Amino acid sequence: MEEKFEYIENAEQPIAMHPKKFALWLFIVTVVMIFASLTSAYIVRQSEGNWLEFDLPSIFWYTSGIIVLSSISLHWAYISAKKDDLASLRIGMIITSILALAFLIGQWYSWIALVDREVFFVGNPAGSFLYVFTGLHALHLISGVIFLIIVLISSFRYLVHSKNLDTMEMCVTYWHFLGGLWLYLFMFLLLNH
């Protein structure tokens, strides 16, 4: 009995993704769901009344600019890694890490500005929501800063280059996500405070 084997030129490849990248995307979806539920709860609670009206700290504008600049510098570092331009990669990672720390410091000063305006975590729900939004985002951002530092160290150990971009790509994805999340939260608060 003779078996026939056929060669198929354009056979469909199964969808495959690096397991760590898949885990990152699952984590991102989870974070999106958390913030979607929080913003939904904000709108529902705001409609019930007894809502403190206050101006957002002006430092939010600066931190928003910082997070955008950090995404630009990280993208430059990523493009540099793809081209094996290791000097530019390192410079981009250093700039991004400094901007990330500046963003966190700016968020801390935004809390100081809120306290100066007598907006506290305990008390009116408007203030509580703002602290939860910014605090939860800052917590995720700290994990992003750790990721940036890991990639920065890896770049000095010659572990990030055109043939080894998985960690860099994951870092870029996560950081751009955090930047987009902050811009969403800021716009949401501007429109709904």
Q: Report the C-alpha gap between 171 and 145 in whole angstroms.
A: 10
pTM of the model: 0.88
Q: What pLDDT does residue 7 have?
A: 60
- Give me the pLDDT at residue 52, please: 84
For residues 155 and 165, give the distance between their C-alpha atoms in angstroms, rounded to a whole number: 11
Say which residue, 95 or 54, is predicted with more confidence.
Answer: 95
Q: Report CA torsion sign: 43, 45, 51, 54.
A: negative
* Residues 119 and 133 sit within 8 Å (Cβ to Cβ): no
Report how far residue 96's alpha carbon sits from residue 185's, in angstroms, rounded to the nearest whole number.
21
Stretch 97-120: mean pLDDT:
94
Taking all residues of the chain, what is their mean pLDDT, rounded to a whole number? 91
- In the chain, the percentage of residues whose pLDDT exceeds 90 is 73
Separation between Cα atoms, residue 51 and residue 40, nearest integer Å: 15
Angle at 191 between CA 51 and CA 96, to 5 degrees: 115
DSSP-derived 3-state class of residue 57: coil
- For each of the domains in the chain, give its residue range(s) and CATH number, in order of start: 66-192 (1.20.120.80)
3 pLDDT tier (thresholds 50, 70, 90) = low
Query: 89: which residues sit within 8 A by CB, 6+ positions away?
Result: 77, 80, 81, 155, 160
Q: Are residues 161 and 81 in contact, defined by beta-carbon separation less than 8 angstroms?
A: yes
Q: Which residue has the tokens 């984590």?
A: 27
Give the Cα separation of 90 and 70 in Å (integer).
14
Q: Give CA–CA dist 94/96, Å, rounded.
A: 5
Confidence bin at 6 (pLDDT 50/70/90): low
146 near 170, Cβ under 8 Å? no
The pLDDT confidence band at residue 1, using thresholds 50, 70 and 90, is: low
CB distance 82 to 191 below 8 Å: no
d(CA 81, CA 84): 5
